[in-house]
Amino acid sequence: MMLENIKAYLSKQGVKYIKPEKAGQHQEEMEVLKALGQAARKEMQTLAKLLEERLAPFKMDRVSNWANQAQICRPHFWCYYRAPEDSLDDVAMAIRLYGQPEKWGISVEVSFVERKKSDTTLAKQHKVLDLPIAPSLYYFAQEDGVSHRVEGTEENRQMLKEAVRDGRVRKVLVKYDVPVTDSMTEDDLLDQLMEGFQLLMPYYDSCHDTNELLQ
């Protein structure tokens, strides 16, 4: 099965990793967890690299780690892609895992790296709202620190524009989901992810058209 380590690792979301030598009776369990996390990340790196070959001139960043700094397992890996002329604080394209082992997939998004953002990054990101939303895409809006899915309709686009202007919504991503099934081949997955990139490219371009930032 394709990406089997990723699928298995999705069930470990939020599990605390302890270094095996400090884990006492859980030593073996922690060794298995670490090996699974590393194997899952490797699968994501391989996939991200294959995608990069199709996405030229875009280059991939590094894939996120299997655990965060607090040593909590983080199976929803992500990887950002940038054009050669993009700065680190610019809006980029990314892939990100979502879901649980029984229902999961990879989404493509137009977004930015929070810890690299500058004073203008959010204003650039808001420009995803300048274009009408294409069918099969959706918004992911952050309100009071919590992000939630918003259906991609013209009505919601206008509502989000207003919410951004009022400061109620801090950021809005545009996303495309590719559900992963057991019968899928790697090529199927790559083709569908590429479809997502093509659908999202106009929104990425809009964020890079800095002539007029959303007032």
Predicted confidence (pLDDT) at residue 170 exceeds the cutoff of 90? yes
Residue 98 confidence (pLDDT): 97
Average pLDDT over residues 197-214: 84
pLDDT at 1: 74
- Cα distance between residue 203 and residue 87, in whole Å: 17
* Per-residue pLDDT reduced to its tens digit, 139-169: 999 999 999 999 999 999 999 999 999 999 9
List the one residue out of 100, 120, 94 whose CA is nearest residue 214: 120
- Banded pLDDT at 214 (limits 50, 70, 90): very low
3-class DSSP state of 146? strand
User: Is the dihedral angle over the CA atoms 32, 48, 64, 192 positive or is it negative?
Assistant: negative
Question: With 70 as the cut, is the pLDDT of residue 211 above it?
Answer: no
Q: How far is CA 38 from CA 43, 143, 170, 183, in A?
A: 9, 33, 33, 24
The pLDDT value given to residue 215: 43
Phi, psi of 10 (to 5 degrees): -60, -30
The Cα–Cα gap between 158 and 54 comes to: 34
Helices (H), the chain: 4-9, 27-54, 121-125, 154-165, 186-208
- Topology annotation, domain 4-208: BirA Bifunctional Protein; domain 2 (3.30.930)
Q: For residue 193, give the nearest of 3, 18, 21 by alpha carbon.
A: 3
Question: Which pLDDT belongs to residue 74?
Answer: 97
- Asked if residue 85 has pLDDT above 60, the reply is yes
pLDDT digits (tens, 9 = 90+) for 92-131: 999 999 999 999 999 999 999 999 999 999 999 999 999 9
Residue 60 to residues 6, 53, 82, 147, 179, Cα–Cα distance (Å): 19, 10, 7, 25, 22
**In the chain, what percentage of residues exceed pLDDT 90?**
95
Bridge partners of 177? 107
Average pLDDT, the chain: 95
pLDDT band at 75 (very low <50, low <70, confident <90, very high): very high
Contact 103, 181 (CB under 8 A): no
Which residues touch 59 (CB under 8 Å, ≥6 apart)? 52, 81, 82, 83, 84
